[in-house]
A and B are shown apart, each in its own frame.
Chain A
Amino acid sequence: MSTDRRDFLKAAALAAASAVVTGTSRSHHLLPIVQGSDDASGLKWQKAPCRFCGTGCHVQVGVQGGRVVAIAGDRAAEVNRGLLCVKGYHVGAVLYGQDRLTRPLLRRTDGSGFVEISWEQAIDMIARRILRAPDRFAFYGSGQWTIPEGYAAQKFMKGGLGNNHIDPNARLCMASAVTGFIATYGVDEPAGCYDDLDHCDVLITWGNNPAENHPVLFSRVIDRPAHGVPLDSKGDPTRPRHVRVIDISTRRTRTSQLATDFLELKPHGDVALALGIMHLLVAENRYDTEFVEKHCHFRAWQETNPTLTGESISFEQFKARLEKYTPERAAALSGIPVAKIRELADLFANRDLRITSLWCMGMNQHSMGTAVNTLVHGLHLLSGHFGRPGDAPTSLTGQPSACGTVREVGTLAHALPGGRLVANAEHRAQCEQLWNLPAGRINPQPGYHTTKMFEQFGSPDGTIDTLFVQVTNPGQTLPNLNHLLPDQRKTRGKFLIVADVYPTATTRLADLILPAAMWVEKNGIFGNSERRTQQWFKMVDPPGDARDDCWMTIAIARRLYDLGHPGMVDKNGRFLFHVVDDQGKEVPIWEWEHYYDVNVDRALFEEYRKFTTLKHKNLAPYDEYVKARGLRWPVVEQPDGSWRETRFRFTGFDDPFVDKSKTLDFYHSTTEDGRAQIWVHDYRPPEEVPDDEYPLWLSTGRVLEQWHTGTMTGRIPQLQRAMPTAYVEVHPKDAETMNLRQGERVVLESRRGSITLPVWINARGNPPPGSVFVPFFDETKLINRVTLGAIDPFSKQPDYKKCAVRIRPVAERENRP
């Protein structure tokens, strides 16, 4: 394609895009209209997982003339079978926002703006700051790191610097799901997979809005025929033909709209509800005695110094602890009527049904997150709804590689790759051996988790001076922002480095900004919510001087090596990221011109793969993923040399690590006898409850068209047009009491901060009276100035779903733009 034509297309698209948005579309058009003969010439399609959420849809990316020009749902992908959501269909435009960052930018010493510097200067500056005080450096990453990026960061920090201050934004997202899985099964990540969605008779969404946040998965449940799942798929006429979707939530959403039942929950009511159902199953002796006797133990937290392994309790003790959660008490605490609690207990008591539970942020961003996660697992175990297709407690993730990079590579302050722990001497030794490092290189002390890391960075006497942020936007996502991320430019001696693709709320605070390559501008591997590892190749060049995040880490490591940091070499004096070509000759991958001389992703992945067998999360060789639309681990080699994925973990019929004669084997059980743990906890009220001064509940969350902090989706005209601003959803009754008008701007404030927002009454979602909802995507309206910093005691994950706020009209002087 000629340059002229490309420029014309660009110009036409730009003009039309703005025309569409401003509504003056009558005389303009978005796409040029061309004669059909050559419009698709040279168009080449390649697979990639979508850049956005944790569902892990595959898209086909159409590339023409070195640019992404089209997207299609990948019909060969099992996850989405050709369907996408509105974000996925427009993901191609994510590369082309006009304000892409293209040069390294250093803040002037007087703070008055930025100057362009070279990559060499930037890398040298970072390396020297680290060298000066290696233990005062912290690395903050994300579930959007590709697996090789996370692995390189992990190896650089823990294996190279002997520094464990590396944590991801996933701490804010699914840390409680991790602690829930570990406390219950002794090992992280769901046992089931998306196939459960095709087989279940009942789907329970616990504080979850998949219709907006995992739309393709929700579609797979409610539109089975359109996804090629025949309604009588088992040929058994007694089986229900449609799924009964029971939505349990503190707010009506699009999921509630499409659900069979909607149960309105009080904040923290999920804990009481799960206990209430368990109470009925046990008191009326309707639990699955055989399943429990064969596969389970009972567990509770210790009186003092509780841990994730807890202490063993007998069934009698378990029963006694549940005694007080009668349906009446559970109803009072949860807000769900007794009759509905009984109905749920009847469903769980019925073993002929297949029940799948789905949850995401409602149960994870919860100050009792670990507890409520274990309770829902426990409910499935107690009733025997586990281990058959369609019977599964499944948590979803919000980021494309929260599972792959954070949970599996272990880029958390306390973790090492492959499910290992920093505090475990044996695990450290294994890593040192696999990395060929001298014994004792890895620091035995876990590093700072996210909120602690930012506290240490934000306060003048904190012990973190230099913070490197990659692929995430803490300036928008941290809770209680005014406290956790004050403008550090006012704090002497602190230095914030931010690598990103667009200017964000975080780059605004940065001292050094690094322009990053994104998505199909680089090679990558993600791991989605169903244990599926997905690979893609670089398809187009990044703009300007933007470079891979993985390269940045390796280049900093190499600069430290040149400057003589002793940790940047292994036992034999070889550089930590020693990558060789086909002839066995080292490739200087720290030099950008040589970074793509070899496939660095492949080299790092093959190295990382060795870590995955300890917890039976076995991965196949890189080249197997090139051929597949992702494979679900454990992936095990077969006698014929092929590689087989696993859909249902711990089951005798599918998991290669379970003896075929057994139904189930929890082979990483914390009690080391193949059993899972059913926990009991006590209800606690939320950390902050509305009162006379702050009379409303605030919940925050996401919307369909905007993804997380909106830095990518907000640059896509079709998506920004659909959802241009954050808003506060108010119940009509409250709006009437407070005399609020539709679209009016109001001030929403808590004890921690305030923001100004337009009111939306009878909105897309509907909170109950006394409760409001605000989405967090809008960088011009930072709701996290208002949220609470309360965290779960085990997972350290903050609760973004409950705090007390009030609404007041905008004062005259504030109303001026």
Chain B
Amino acid sequence: MNAQQRSSPHIVALLLTGVIGLSLVGLIRGIRYDVPHHGELAEFRHNTPIEDVAAEDGAIPATPYWQMRRRETGPTSQWEYGISPIETIFDYRRCITCHDPHTLEIRPDQRAKERSLKIRATRRAYNGAPPVIPHAVEQTDDAACMACHGTGARIGELVANRIPHAYLSQCLQCHAPPAPLPLTHQASPPANRFAGLPTPFAGPRAYPGAPPLIPHSTWMRRDCLSCHGGAAGWPGLEVTHRWRTNCLQCHGTSAELEQAITAAH
């Protein structure tokens, strides 16, 4: 009787440990399982049975979910697996977003700025070029782009900037993606001596303390906060005075970069 009483908590503890252990393993595996790996899709074979759905009235039948194409989107080369929440981005319609006394003082981190500028510079052929896309993409779907870049998002260290220009269909018209996954192994870089206009570290100031001039063109950069806006922007490039809303009031543009060109040329 006593022996029985003593052994049952043992069994319960053992069982519990097993169950908890298993669920932990399952949880971690589960988290990792959903993240597609680079190159994984190149091995992918389409073996879903597809039946002909005869359309008698000529209408195109809706595509069932199981027939839909497999998504190609995936992580960038900078992605590291881990558990980090997708942060929601400032909602600028809320007063507290800019006037929160806890965040009133912003001191941009110079090292973060350097890091940001380096990443940024890998994605542009010249200062002012539309950035190339650092991650795999959907070939025909703007909605996939807008899911992150519509409002802006941050996952851990990774930033998806909000688009700074008016919405234009066909993001891939201007932003070059990496090779489609089934064709990536074919990539070989051509040698080219083009040396683009360098990316600026900072805008020039007339005197210490003067508001810096904007060191890039403002064409198609209507929304300054998409880069300079904190959580949705680049680390180290944040505006220190979020409550000021008319950026161009103090920050002058550059005639040389703005295409301020005479009609003749």
Which residues of A line the B interface, CB within 8 A?
6, 9-10, 12-14, 16-23, 25-26, 28-37, 39-41, 43, 45-47, 60, 62, 64, 67-76, 82-86, 89-90, 92-93, 95-99, 211, 215-216, 218-219, 222-223, 225-226, 254, 257-258, 337-340, 626-627, 704-705, 714-725, 727, 732-733, 735-736, 741-743, 758-764
Contact = CB atoms under 8 A, between A and B. Distances in A.
A337 B197 contact: no
B257 interface: yes
Nearest to A211: B170
A53 to B, nearest CB: 13
A29 B118 contact: yes
23 contacts: A13-B192, A13-B193, A13-B194, A14-B193, A25-B134, A26-B78, A29-B118, A31-B197, A33-B117, A33-B118, A40-B215, A60-B261, A71-B128, A72-B128, A223-B169, A721-B176, A722-B176, A724-B186, A736-B46, A743-B43, A758-B182, A760-B182, A761-B182
Please list the 6 inter-chain residue pairs (A to B) with the smallest Cβ-Cβ separation, ordered nearest first. A337-B58, A21-B189, A93-B194, A98-B191, A725-B186, A743-B182
A616 B202 CA distance: 55
B183 interface: yes
Contact of B190 (A75, A216, A254, A717): A717
B166 interface: yes
Contacts of B49: 736
B125 to A, nearest CB: 6
B194 to A, nearest CB: 4
A758 B167 contact: no
Contact of B179 (A90, A254, A724): A724
A90 B220 CA distance: 17
B168 A223 contact: yes
A717 B117 CA distance: 20
A724 B183 contact: yes
Contacts of B16: none
B62 interface: no
Interface of B: 41-50, 57-58, 69-70, 77-78, 114, 117-119, 121-130, 132, 134, 139-141, 166-170, 172-204, 212-213, 215, 217, 219-220, 254, 256-257, 259, 261, 263-265
B173 A31 contact: no
Given A16-B122, A72-B219, A718-B125, A23 B77 contact: yes
B189 A721 contact: yes
Given A31-B127, A75-B259, A219 B169 contact: yes
Interface majority SS (helix, strand, loop, mixed), chain B:
loop
Interface majority SS (helix, strand, loop, mixed), chain A:
mixed
Nearest to A32: B198
Given A31-B198, A34-B200, A718-B176, A627 B193 contact: no
Contact of B50 (A73, A76, A733): A733
Contact of B215 (A10, A36, A215): A36
A732 B47 CA distance: 9
A742 B42 contact: yes
Nearest to B57: A339
A225 B166 contact: yes
B130 A89 contact: yes
A31 B166 contact: no
Contacts of A216: 173
Given A26-B77, A75-B259, A36 B213 contact: yes
A36 B127 CA distance: 11
Contacts of B173: 85-86, 211, 215-216, 219, 704
B178 A721 contact: yes
Nearest to A82: B219
Contacts of A37: 204
Contacts of B134: 25
A226 B219 CA distance: 13
Given A258-B169, A724-B183, A763-B180, A18 B197 contact: no
B121 A254 contact: no
A31 B199 contact: yes
B257 A40 contact: yes
Nearest to A65: B195
Contact of B126 (A70, A86, A735, A743): A70
Contacts of B140: 254, 257, 764
